Chains A and B, each alone.
Chain A
């Protein structure tokens, strides 16, 4: 056999990088937009803030991006969290009711004063995040200590979570008019404010997983929990940690989502987003069986999901057909990951070997 040339080695290194396929997928979608949607890449400067379709992908994708961060860690341990959408709704309900408690008196009270809030903003945020931490902790205890299969364990909160959210808001939709709160999802500091949130959560998570041993332990538990146990890794604590953290991320996403629509709507906030988050992680190349993960690749995965949605809207696909189209694109992207296709890509695009 001939020694591989330098070229083939470099090519391999590129194609075997975890980011390669997500970025290829994103590029293909953006290329499609570039050709078929005039002005898709136009970025407008409005009073120092940047606006445009491209920016919107990031802004609208921020909830899924935040969810995908927590979900990546959960999936890396070999689990899954179906309850993040419901947790978003619970966090939003807590936030809503603390700012506008009129629903508790069973009356729909339209607050028009943009400066009115029942409780101060800091308390609203802390309370909402604390509740979502508890939701995550609940999942973690069920999975790690009660040994319930992750899908079943988190299904419990997925189903009951929306009921809990409704209980909190007394079954009503709560209007949120408090302006500082709206800034979370709608504010702009050159770039959308929610993007900074994504960046902060990403940076902290990256630091915690890659600059401490936690990332390696998560992967180790996901690959072979028996070996990890024999090596002295406390697999239960690791699982408790990732589910709790995933709940926390869902809480942040819930704040962003409710701020975006100025309502805490227990029925619709975060509906089916858990699936988007899972898909984002899968597109990012983390195996559902657990193991190696890449946070950055999951971020790109989340952008792929949002870019698909955005592009479909832009070319005029009606909202009701969107899910179907999305499915087709997702199938295509996932196919790119199969070993068969990967091998094929490597074969046709690698520099030709001499015979």
Chain B
């Protein structure tokens, strides 16, 4: 037992700052030999940054990494691999057009007479898969002809091929697997565990955490919440640790919220009836009233983002309908939504929000201009007027309106996108994770902004991974679980009630 208890890896006091964001703040983690450790936390909690520090992608600002009793400094993923730390990423990043054997041994092909020894290579690959993972497949077929689960196994085989692999990091390997495939992966994980490999398993599925892990390390907002024995923590306990609670500083927002709830009107601005998209979100009913902020709560993958995108029309619903101001919407597309007065601030700021080379001014007027069309071009003075107005209103920190938006900090970029949507004067504003990766001060500003927006007789859908934040800003909370609307709460709700709803009846 004593040997098993020994830590093969410990990370101590790791801190990492990116411009404008403290990604990791004094985080520690330890991993024992033959242990499966779950690393959990919502988006932006710092899980991936912590793993990037471990595998040498990012350099920590401070802290130590100790592997097998020796302090190490990983310089690159290759270096980490040579030390025995292997990683399998969420997206299978292998070449589907190459054979399984080629994928496993890419860059390490056995040679004969300065040529690749194909016979040996195929034998090695097939042997590795069988011996390590218990998977018996034809390694000369192309990887693409196998299921995602098998591809995932191949990725693991590739990661483990280095004989000295002591630590295996699995970054959300199950997000694209079905139940049977997941079971197959778990079998492999248990086999490796018995062979003494330490596994760090990152997942969002609570059920899987309880099925496979020995211990759980929870991160939130870049800070370590704690490490728990899996058997010693309940589901509800775990979720409340992940999404956090802080009773402090509730009062001011609560006051504002109470005040603003007087402005809610009974008329529905938008009504969704049996609205849904197969595979994304089960059909649901939802009314948005003037003056109301509706929070969507649920874990990652529960269908929050999908709900937002079908409401906006960037994904097309295949059942049900939406009516706005009493008339049924016929045409779903971002442009027609914008013209109707529906705005969506998407989840991924970099990929779907900012246009990084354009100036702050151009980014702010982009949606207005798109709704006006090609030829009714806003004159420069008009553009500056709008841009300056919102720079002031949202106190966007930028040297000038002509600054490329990529030079701004994350929080200010987010404000620019908010400005883009506020500028079209929307009736309904959908905010998907508007405060991710943003400092606390800006978060509070955005939350207040949302409430004052609603006070003007408009409706807002507010999505956030932080339950606390949803509670603080929303008049009504809709809970989603496994791509289905499961509950709706209005008025004063107790946080635990919502956590129960998120966790489901099994809790």
Contact = CB atoms under 8 A, between A and B. Distances in A.
Indicate, yes or no, whether A interacts with B: yes
A213 B367 contact: no
A216 interface: yes
Given A230-B346, A232-B367, A233-B366, A213 B355 contact: no
Interface residues of A, number: 21
A223 B377 contact: no
A224 interface: yes
Contact of A232 (B334, B354, B362): B334
Central interface residue in B357, B373, B378, by most chain A CB within 10 Å: B357
Contacts of A211: 377
A212 B351 CA distance: 26
A234 B369 CA distance: 12
A291 B357 contact: yes
B355 A229 contact: no
B335 interface: yes
B375 A223 contact: no
Contact of B370 (A223, A224, A232, A292): A232
Interface in B362-382: 362, 366-367, 369-378
B374 A231 contact: no
B334 A220 contact: no
B334 A216 contact: no
A224 B335 contact: no
Given A214-B374, A217-B370, A217-B374, A230 B352 contact: yes
A211 B339 CA distance: 23
A219 interface: yes
A49 interface: no
B84 interface: no
B367 A231 contact: yes
Central interface residue in A211, A216, A231, A234, by most chain B CB within 10 Å: A231
B53 interface: no
Contacts of A216: 358, 362, 366, 369
B300 to A, nearest CB: 20
A228 interface: yes
Contacts of A219: 355, 357-358
B370 A233 contact: yes
Given A219-B358, A224-B354, A230 B314 contact: yes
A292 B355 CA distance: 11
Instruction: State which size class the interface on B falls in.
Output: 20 to 34
Interface in A2-39: none
A231 B374 CA distance: 14
B482 interface: no
B144 interface: no
Given A211-B377, A212-B377, A213-B377, A231 B370 contact: yes
A234 B356 CA distance: 19
A234 B338 CA distance: 12
Contacts of A220: 355, 358, 362, 366
Contacts of B372: 213
A151 B170 CA distance: 38
A226 interface: yes
Contact of B355 (A212, A214, A227): A227
Interface string A200-238: 000000000001111011011001101111111110000
B351 A226 contact: yes
Contacts, number: 76
B420 interface: yes
Contacts of B373: 213
B277 to A, nearest CB: 17
Nearest to A216: B362
Contact of A231 (B339, B376, B420): B420
Nearest to B379: A211
B307 to A, nearest CB: 16
Interface string B341-361: 000101000011111111000
Interface string A295-316: 0000000000000000000000
A230 B377 contact: no
Central interface residue in A211, A217, A220, by most chain B CB within 10 Å: A220
Interface string B325-340: 0000000001101110
A13 to B, nearest CB: 12
Contacts of A217: 369-370, 374
A25 to B, nearest CB: 23
A212 B376 CA distance: 7
Interface string B23-60: 00000000000000000000000000000000000000
Nearest to A233: B370
B375 A212 contact: yes
Contacts of A229: 314, 334
A350 to B, nearest CB: 20
A213 B375 contact: yes
A228 B420 CA distance: 12
Contacts of B362: 216, 220
Contact of A234 (B335, B344, B355): B335
B357 A226 contact: no
A234 B367 CA distance: 11
A232 B355 contact: no
Contacts of A228: 355, 366
Nearest to B336: A232
Central interface residue in A216, A227, A230, A233, by most chain B CB within 10 Å: A230
A223 B358 contact: yes
A116 B442 CA distance: 76
Contacts of B337: 232
B356 A224 contact: yes
A213 B369 contact: yes
Nearest to B353: A227
B366 to A, nearest CB: 5
B160 to A, nearest CB: 36
B334 A223 contact: no
Contacts of B334: 229-232
Nearest to A222: B357
A219 B357 CA distance: 9
Central interface residue in B314, B351, B355, B374, by most chain A CB within 10 Å: B355
A216 B338 CA distance: 18
Interface string B285-311: 000000000000000000000000000
A291 B376 CA distance: 22
Contacts of A292: 357
Nearest to B420: A231
A76 to B, nearest CB: 11
B357 A223 contact: yes
A-B complex: 8 closest residue pairs judged by Cβ atoms: A232-B370, A232-B335, A232-B338, A231-B367, A231-B366, A226-B352, A213-B377, A233-B370
Interface of B: 314, 334-335, 337-339, 344, 346, 351-358, 362, 366-367, 369-378, 420
9 contacts: A213-B372, A213-B375, A223-B356, A227-B352, A227-B355, A229-B334, A230-B314, A231-B338, A232-B337
Given A227-B351, A227-B353, 6 more contacts: A213-B372, A213-B375, A224-B351, A230-B353, A232-B371, A233-B370
